[in-house]
Amino acid sequence: MSRASRGVPAATRRDRRSAERASPRARHRERPSIWRGPLPYVAAIVLIVGAIVWSVLSSRGGPAPTLTGAASAAVVASVTSIPADVYDTVGSGGLADPLRATTFEMLRGPSGLPLVIYVGAEYCPFCASEKWSVIAALSRFGTFQGLELSTSSSTDAFPDTPTLTFRTASYQSTFIELSAIETADRQGRPMANTTPVQQAAMDRSDPQSSIPFVSIAERHVAVGSGYRPDVLVGKTWTQIAEAMRDPSTPLARGVIGNANWITAAICEQTGGQPASVCASPAVRSLAVR
């Protein structure tokens, strides 16, 4: 028995001890709790505000990426000459068919070949992503001249997405014809009006005139990007061109998978020509779906 407890009746001491054992909350109340003060609230507010401020600051990236002329030519050469085994390995890339079949008659170009139409704009981020696939696919049927590098708008969604532009491009093929237009530059300033043929195709299949608009001889049409454009974010043209050749990358599955769907739709209009492209495993597997 301690000196301090002398003189206190034993029954009272027992009562006090049992009361303390029976009520741990009462004992807890006597101690300061971290949950009772402002600290948790302040910490949470600092975390939330800090995270948002950090996001805003990191969104203000540097200037749009630029490339030298030689590097630009290397990117264009890479994108327009992707090996066939890359297309075959990627297949659909896990993408659902981005093209919608129509009941329209096949649309032919001035020389009687199936006409592929592309309508987009340089500022448009979804056009930026779609063009990588369109150019890769069309390069299997013909040859581009005058493709240049560009980026989407700095102030739109997915700002400064690297891409290529049809601004000064021409296309030669013995299987299809291409009618491509960039209606505005990357600042959104008008550059060109759609031709009557392009506009008529849009009016029939894309009444809201959404871009990008891709028409494969009016038998298949796509509005919007066939894959998620964020796979391109933060990459340079060179990195994108390299990743397109690596079937294991999410970027290749998006860009090449979409290109394979476009290729399969074109092959349907060319009667399976050229066989080197249209008889490939990837195209055949997508064509039978």
Nearer residue to another protein within complex by CB, 76 or 256: 256
The distance in angstroms from the start CA to the end CA of the chain is 90
Does position 59 interact with another protein (CB under 8 A)? The reply is yes
Does position 33 interact with another protein (CB under 8 A)? The reply is yes
The encoded tokens of residue 197 equal 């043929």
CA dist 233 and 129 (Å) reads 10
The encoded tokens of residue 52 equal 């948002």
Count of residues in contact with another protein, rule CB under 8 A? 30
Min. distance of Cβ 195 from another protein in angstroms? 27
Nearer residue to another protein within complex by CB, 17 or 36: 36
Nearer residue to another protein within complex by CB, 80 or 153: 153
Residues sharing a CB contact under 8 Å with residue 84, sequence separation 6 or more, in sequence order: 276, 277, 280
Contact (Cβ atoms closer than 8 angstroms) between residue 121 and residue 182: yes
Min. distance of Cβ 51 from another protein in angstroms? 4
DSSP string for residues in 156-187:
SSSTT-EEEE-TT-EEEESS-EEEEEE-B-TT
Does position 231 interact with another protein (CB under 8 A)? The reply is yes
Which H or E run includes 74?
helix 69-79
Does position 52 interact with another protein (CB under 8 A)? The reply is yes
Min. distance of Cβ 56 from another protein in angstroms? 6
CA dist 286 and 245 (Å) reads 20
Residues between 119 and 158 with contacts to another protein, criterion CB under 8 A: 125, 155-158
Q: List residues binding another protein (CB under 8 A).
A: 33, 35-36, 40-41, 44, 47-48, 51-52, 54-56, 58-59, 125, 155-159, 224-225, 228-231, 233-234, 250
